[in-house]
Chain A
Amino acid sequence: MMRALGGVRSVVAAAVLSIVAGCRLDSRADSLGDDNLKHFGLGHTPSAATLAAEDIDVLPSGVGLPAGSGTPEEGAKIYAASCASCHGANGEGIAPYPQLIGGPKGRFDFATDYKIPRTIGNYWPYATSLYDYIRRAMPLTAPGSLSADETYAVSAYLLSREGLIPSGTRLDAKGLAAIEMPARKHFVMDDRRAGSGGRRVR
């Protein structure tokens, strides 16, 4: 109805209408929609400490990465002690644990053959995901046991083995987010039909 009115007059008309109707059309300008839904007043406000402790996610821009740093050389020692038993001395993977490094460089025709190894250097679009994943999940038997410095160091080791940073690099939040991953430009968003899907097979 509002759309049909058009222009400045519609704003005035809407304002008048809303006053007449005894409600505000945009009563929660900072929130989207749902104005008709009831508030139940359940739940409690988390403490600042809880929010800070839980807020561990990392964005491709680097937002969310903690302070700290590490080098490939430091990371090599941590890798040998905490990672190599599952992922192999050279990151080659020990089934069912995946190969991490050493995939063919400059080759992205994964659709032609599933046996082409998908590794950090040829299949990970963002280096920040590496830090995020290690922090969340690794090592398998003691997740969350690596410090921020150690996590940067292991990330640096793997990235340097893939030829993405020079040895000796001290990797920190800024450096990690700045790495342009070779696979990045090969990723495309879902191009099948959204919603009901349609008839086309893709």
Chain B
Amino acid sequence: MIYWQLFLAFFIPNIIGYGGGPAIIPLIENEVVGRYGWMGAQEFAETLALGNALPSPIATKMAGYIGYDVAGIAGAVVAVFATVVPSLLLMLGALGLLYRHRDSPRVKRMSQWVRPVIAVMMGWLTFSFLSEGLENAGVIHMVIITVASGLALLRFNVHPAFVVLAALVYGGLFLG
């Protein structure tokens, strides 16, 4: 039963998540935090932070860890399987069909039309991280880390791994 839930929780976001890995994050949050309650917002944020600090696709790292957290190694395998295999099978199976339609305006329209929905879900997730942060770290620390990491990431293009590392050190020193 838990494996079936894990499969669905990762299969659905990946089969509707047009726009690459990051588009899947709010959809996974909706399943993992919202629907099944396997994690709180705090834990999900930590997973996402570490996921952003490590290389390779974010969707499979999230699936691997959350699957493991919920149901051990078998859970990790199921979640990663649900992330990777369905769309890959579609690609291998329907290659000829897809090849003919790769420049079709309808196909382009699909990801265009999904994008605003993903954007609104990402905005919602941003807001939930904001309220989680305010509740736990407090306004002052929240403002300091947000401004510092915002400048580092957006203005100076510092590598996300270093920004996450710096935030970990700051949190360890001042929020413990």
Asked whether A and B interact, the reply is: no
